[in-house]
Each structure stands twice: as structure tokens, then as C-alpha cells.
Amino acid sequence: GDRFEIDAVAIRDLSRAAAFEQLRAAMNQGQQVALGFCNANMLLKALCSASYASTLKNLVLLSDGIGLDLCSLLFRGRFFRENLNGTDFVPALLGGDARGRTLFLLGAKPGIAEAAARKLALLYPQHRVVGTRHGYFAPAETDAVIAEINAAAPDILLVALGNPDQETFIAEHAHRIDARLLMGVGALIDYTAG
């Protein structure tokens, strides 16, 4: 099938090309998609915590890493079609998208998202970073952060707060965030900034 379910967690089993196609179609139609890259760490957390499991239910999950593959092998006798992690997936999604998208980068230490934005402008001239915000804010600042994102109204919101925080942020707030595709991307902003 095109999904693997273990306990309360459902992970899509898609090729990268099929995932790209579905995400671009959703964006083009103005639908919102909240996406997570589920690694073994997140899966274990979800299996041990009902609250994290219900958080993950709000996200479309892709399979990130060998831990998920081993789990899939044990339970259904085969690997996932592809290993999809944010650090490879997002650059390929952006690079292969002829249609210009707007992006907001949320996360990493102060200054890093801005450096990543400058790199993205060089790498993907068809896209435009319309906002950045570092990821070290207090819960009381969450509304202000969301207001900043909504003022920019990006097509794509990259959330790099580490897990579980990035998935929780997306799951809790996606309904009031004006962005089409929200993705929890781990170390991608650091990695892009170089």
C-alpha cells in the first residue's frame, strides 16, 4: 500500500517524485499541507507518548531514515519506496519547481535564517524568501511569530525548531497560519546557511 501504519502512526510510502507531484498540485490548488519527515526518534516518541502520536496525526508523514526502513521490514517485509529526509527533499523540491514560490524560514539561531535566505536566492532565483525569524522564542511570543508569518503569507513555511517542537508547532498552529505547505525540516536552515 501507499502507507505504513504502526500503532497510531501512519507514514506515507511514496517515491520522491510522487510526493513532489502531490505537494505541487496541492500548492497550485491553494490547499494546505502540513508535512513531517518521520525518523526513528520521532516514531519512538510517538509510540511512547499518546500526545505526540496525536500531534503527528495532524501531519502528512514521510519516511526518514534507516530506522523507519528496519521497522517497515520487520512489520511488513519490505523497505519504504524511498528514504525522504528534509535536508535532501526540500532542496530537490525547490530546485525542480519551475513555478516561483515564496518562502518563510522559521528557526535556527539568530542570523542563520537570513544567511540561508541569501543562499536560497542564489540557488533558486525563481523562488523568493519573503520572511525569516529565528527559532528561539518564548511561548508568549508565538502569536507575534505567527502574525509575522501571516503578514508575509508565504507559499512554503520551513520550520526548523528541532523535534518534537517543530512538529508540535505545525500541528497546533497550521489552521491559523497563512501558508500552503508547512514542513518540519530539522537542521535544514543551518545546513543551507553553510
Q: Which residues are near ligand UDP by CB under 6 A?
A: 107-109, 135-136, 160-163, 186-187, 189-190
Minimum gap (Å) between residue 65 Cβ and ligand UDP = 12
Minimum gap (Å) between residue 109 Cβ and ligand UDP = 5
Minimum gap (Å) between residue 85 Cβ and ligand UDP = 11
* Residue with smaller CB distance to ligand UDP, 27 or 134: 134
Residue 147 corresponds to which amino acid?
Answer: A
* Residue with smaller CB distance to ligand UDP, 97 or 132: 132
Minimum gap (Å) between residue 43 Cβ and ligand UDP = 14
User: Can you tell me the distance from the alpha carbon of 155 to that of 159, in angstroms, rounded to the nearest whole number?
Assistant: 13
* Residue with smaller CB distance to ligand UDP, 3 or 109: 109
Contact 157, 129 (CB under 8 A): no
Residue nearest to ligand UDP (CB): 135
Q: H or E element: which one contains 164? A: none
Is the dihedral angle over the CA atoms 144, 148, 150, 156 positive or is it negative? negative
* Residue with smaller CB distance to ligand UDP, 23 or 105: 105
Residues 151, 102, 52, CA angle at the centre, nearest 5°? 75
Give the count of beta carbons closer than 10 Å to the beta carbon of residue 17. Answer: 12
